[in-house]
Structures are given as structure tokens and as C-alpha cells.
Amino acid sequence: MHKRVPDVVVLRLAAYRRALREFPAGSERVSSGALAARTGYSAAQVRKDLSLFGQFGQPGVGYSVVALERELVRIFGLDRERRVALVGVGNLGSALLAYNGFREAGLRIVAAFDVDPRKVGGVIAGVPVRHVDELEGAVAGENIELAMITVPAAAAQGVVDAAVRGGIKGVLNFAPAVVRVPEGVMLRSTHLGAELERLSCLVNLSLAGRDEL
Amino acid sequence: MHKRVPDVVVLRLAAYRRALREFPAGSERVSSGALAARTGYSAAQVRKDLSLFGQFGQPGVGYSVVALERELVRIFGLDRERRVALVGVGNLGSALLAYNGFREAGLRIVAAFDVDPRKVGGVIAGVPVRHVDELEGAVAGENIELAMITVPAAAAQGVVDAAVRGGIKGVLNFAPAVVRVPEGVMLRSTHLGAELERLSCLVNLSLAGRDEL
DNA sequence: TAGATTGTTAATCGATTAACAATC
DNA sequence: TAGATTGTTAATCGATTAACAATC
């Protein structure tokens, strides 16, 4: 288990997992070809991607739907509960708190943080809102591994630094700002506008007579 | 202008644009090296990416900050207002309606749609909420080019079909469902859980002793 | 001029695809 | 057995990097 795993492989693994979950109840076996058809990738790519992590299939037979899904869950590290902090309880933060998909994925938002005294002390979607001053201590003392940042751009680096001091393992930044984390801390950045801007670019390029992306 | 533009290039162009916007006021010129330092890519890649679209720099001098940003805006198709519909006024839909970043990017949400009679007829963040039955007609008659879908998974394909019938050019799907669009309509899919699951995967792989992604 | 920097070509690197022996 | 399908190797393809002539 020492191979490098490209980002794009993680993206496809997530698609395989989703496809497996949506498989007709009662399906026991699935072939790389069937997974490919459901996800839009190729059978060879399905097998290659999975082979990075082990040998999960049987030649001539295929993969066990249940066992393969279990392997993917394990690869994603979602086979045990991961505790998550959310920082910034605005519109997007509230939407994330109310989102049900995390729980079933093993991702549990256990604490929310904000600076607004009207929000601190409240409870949103079952999650207590605490003052952001408590963030570092909470990460350090309450086994919080991941943090989602939904604060204004100007505040982003500060709260990321606090989470890092507390020992956070991964940061998902939704603030439209470049933030830095030390080596060893995983970082993903996105923001609400990004996807729509990229879509606009695709539409624009395709209309300009280019090939489809 | 007939080269294929890989998805990853669009991603980097967006980063260059953001970096340009954050450049110290008064900067007139920027080199590929300076852009690289700000975005974490390499100078050669900056030049190569830009060269896909034209020659924007001067040898020995660099790029004009203002002119390059204008070119990027043009490439993204954001040099004129693009009208956008939002379908599904839940938590995420409301967050998108309230997000200010779209307007300054030239993306204007002109109509929101829902099926809930308590929401239909209201106005959120200045945008009127209409019944989803009006979606197709609105797209066709009100020059709406892009649609953001924030409805439950089960309803996603139906509203996408309606938007497509109305002549939508691009769809950004936030529902956790696989949707299909005909050739010629651009589609991007993501959902709130996806990024956090990918982050979890990164953290898990890095802790398992793998190289950094 | 000398130093800096672009745009592009060639070289390298990595990812995808095709093919097939091994296996059920 | 014959048909199906995996895991992996080799071949192809595409993207990144390095290098440099051209230019300011």
C-alpha cells in the first residue's frame, strides 16, 4: 500500500460507491463492465482503479456488491464515525448542518462555531453553536478530525490556524480565500461560485465551436 | 481556437483569475512566475495554459494585470451578464440565493422555483420564487442560460428535463442523483457531501502511510 | 546593451486503454 | 468444458516540465 493515489481516482471511487448503493436490491455480483456502464467510465479503468487497493474480484465471476462497497467505505475511511466541526453558521453553514447525507456516510458534525452572540448558545439541526474561541480546545479535546470552514474570506485563515493548532487532520474550506495549512494537514478548497463559473466557462467554450470538454 | 481544453485547465484559469483580483492595487504587470507563486502551479504551466487561448504577454515584460484579467473573464464567458435559474429553495438553495459572489462574476440569478405553496410567491434575497411548473416557459422566454438544481434527488431528473425542454445551455446539479442531459447541454454535478467524503479519503490515505495526494 | 520574460518546441512523466494469461 | 471476467502488463495517449530562441 505505497502507491500514490491521484485525485481523479478518488473522484471515480466515489462514483463507484454511489453506483453500488443504487444497485437493484438483491444484486449479489457486479462486473467491472456493469459498474462502468453505470458511471460512464471504462471497464478497464474500474479494474485498474480498484487494483490500486487490492484484489476484490473473482476472475470469471466479478465483484460481490456488498463486499466491494465495504472495501470502498474502508478506503474512504468511513467505516468508523469521523467527528467534524463546522465554523461559520451563516446560510451555507446552516445548509451543511441540515444536510442529512453526512450522517449516513459516517461523517458527524458534532460542533458548530460562530462569533455572533445571537447565534452562540443556540442549537441548529441538533448541533450546539459555540463561540469560535473554543474551536482550538474542542478540536484538541473532543476527537474532532475534520473542519468545514464557512466564514467570510477575511476570517478564514485565522480559524484554519486555530483548528490546526488543535490538531485538525483535514480542512474543507468554502471561503473564497487562499488558506495555508502545514504539511500533513489535508486541505480542500472550493466555494459556491466556483462550480457555476466553471459551468459558464464550459458553456462558453462549447458555444465557441470547441470540442466538448 | 479549436483546441480541446481539459477540465483541469479551466480549474487553473479560475485560480489565475482569483489571484489577479487579489493582486496589490497598482500592480500593472505580472509575470508567469509571480502568478505561479500565488497559485501554487508552475510558471511554465501558467504560460502554457494561457497560450491555449492566445498571446497575452510581452516577452521580457510579462502580462498586463488588467488586460489578462479581462481576457480570462472573456474566456469564462462572464463579460456579459448570464441569467441563471435556481430550482429548489431549501437550505442550500437559500444559501445560493444569498451568495453575493455570483453578481460580481456576471452571473445573475433571475428566478427561483419550488413546489412548496408556502414558498411560491415569496421573494428571497430579491429573487421571486415561482412554481416549478413555470420553469420551462421561463427558461425559453426569459433568456435563462444556466440552471442550478437544489431539489431532492428523486425530483432532479424531472426538473432538469423541464429546463432542457426550455432550452437551457448548462446545468449545475447539486442533488445527489445521476441526471442525464442531451448532447450539447453542459452538465456539472456535485453535492454537499462529496467534498467532505473526498477529504475524508485523503486524510485516510495519508494516514495509511501513502504519499501526499 | 544586459537582464528578464514570453511562447513554443522537445523531453519527460503519468494516466488511460487495450490485450491477454490466469481463473472461476 | 466453454464462456465470462479478473488483475496486470504493454502500448497508447495526453499532460506537465524543461529548455531556449525570440523579444522587449
Separation in Å: C12 C1' and A31 CA: 36
Q: Do residues A68 and A28 touch, judged by C-beta distance below 8 A?
A: no
Secondary structure, 3-state, B138-168: HHHHCCCCEEEECCCHHHHHHHHHHHHHHCC
Query: What's the full length of chain B, in residues?
Result: 213
Q: Is the CB of A60 under 7 A from strand D?
A: yes
Among A3-7, A8-12, A118-122, B6-10, whose mean pLDDT is lowest? A3-7
Q: Which domains does chain A have, with CATH numbers?
A: 7-75 (1.10.10.10), 82-194 (3.40.50.720)
Which amino acid, residue B87?
V
What percentage of residues in chain B have a pLDDT greater than 90? Answer: 77
Distance in Å, alpha carbon of A58 to nearest chain B alpha carbon: 25
| Residue appearing with cell numbers 459516517 | A106
Grid coordinates representing A196? Answer: 457555476
Top pLDDT among A21 and B156 is at B156
pTM, entire model: 0.88
* Mean pLDDT, rounded, for B12-16: 95
Task: List all residues 6 or more positions away from A37 whose beta carbon is below 8 Å from its beta carbon.
Answer: none
Quick one: pLDDT at residue A210? 44
Judging contacts by C-beta atoms under 8 Å, the chain A residues touching residue B78 are 197, 200
- Find the CB nearest B95 among A3, A84, A95: A95
- Amino acid at the residue B213: L
- The residues facing A62 across adjacent strands are A58
Among the listed residues B2, B11, B12, the one whose alpha carbon sits nearest the alpha carbon of residue B32: B12
Nucleotide nearest to A58 (CA to C1'): D6
Contacts of A172 in chain B (CB under 8 A): 195-196, 199
B81, pLDDT greater than 70: yes
Nucleotides on chain D within 7 angstroms of protein Cβ = 3-9, 14-19, 21-24
Q: In sequence order, which residues have a C-beta less than 8 Å from that of residue A179 and are 6 or more positions away?
A: A149, A156, A157, A160, A171, A173, A187, A189
> From the C1' of D3, which residue's alpha carbon is nearest?
A60
pLDDT band at A15 (very low <50, low <70, confident <90, very high): very high
Q: Å from A8 to nearest chain B CA?
A: 10
Q: Tell me: the pLDDT tens digits for A133-165?
A: 999 999 999 999 999 999 999 999 999 999 999
Max Cα–Cα distance, chain A, nearest Å:
63
For residue B76, give the nearest of A23, A205, A60 by alpha carbon. A205
Q: Would you state the pLDDT for residue B3?
A: 64
Say which residues have a Cβ less than 8 Å from residue B55's Cβ, sequence separation at least 6. Answer: none
The chain-wide mean pLDDT, for chain A, equals 91
Number of inter-chain CB pairs under 8 A, A vs B: 203
CA distances from A140 to A121, A127, B43, B168 (A): 20, 18, 39, 48
Classify B189 as helix, strand or coil: strand
Output phi, psi for B123, to 5 deg.
-130, 130
Amino acid at residue number B119: K
Instruction: Give A5 CA → C22 C1' in Å.
Output: 26
Q: Could you give the C-alpha distances from B114 to A182, B7, B12, in angstroms and in order?
A: 43, 32, 35
For residue A22, what pLDDT is reported? Answer: 84
Q: Is B16 exposed, middle or buried (0-12, 13-18, 19+ CB in 10 A)?
A: buried
pLDDT digits (tens, 9 = 90+) for B156-207: 999 999 999 999 999 999 998 888 899 889 999 888 888 999 999 989 987 6
Question: HSE (CB half, 13 Å, CA atoms) of B210?
Answer: 19
Q: Residue A24 has which C-alpha cell?
A: 437493484
Contacts of A101 in chain B (CB under 8 A): 176, 191-193
Rounded to 10 deg, the angle between the B7-21 and B32-39 helix axes is 100
Q: Which amino acid is present at B165?
A: R
- pLDDT in the model for residue A208: 62
Q: What dihedral angle (degrees, nearest 10) is formed by the CA atoms of B177, B182, B186, B191? A: 0
What is the CB neighbour count within 10 angstroms for residue B158?
A: 14
Distance A86 CA to D10 C1' (A): 48
Q: Is B123 exposed, middle or buried (0-12, 13-18, 19+ CB in 10 A)?
A: exposed
Q: Name which of A23, A104, A201 to mutate to probe chain B: the one with the most chain B Cβ atoms within 10 A of its Cβ.
A: A201
Give residue A8's Cα distance to chain centre.
13
- Structure confidence by residue, pLDDT tens digits, A55-106: 999 999 999 999 999 999 999 999 999 999 999 999 999 999 999 889 888 8
pLDDT (tens digit per residue) in B96-127: 999 988 988 889 999 999 999 999 999 999 99
A63 contact to strand D (CB, 7 A limit): yes
* A170-187 pLDDT, tens digit each: 999 999 888 889 988 999
Residues A30 and A64: their CA atoms lie apart, in Å, by 6
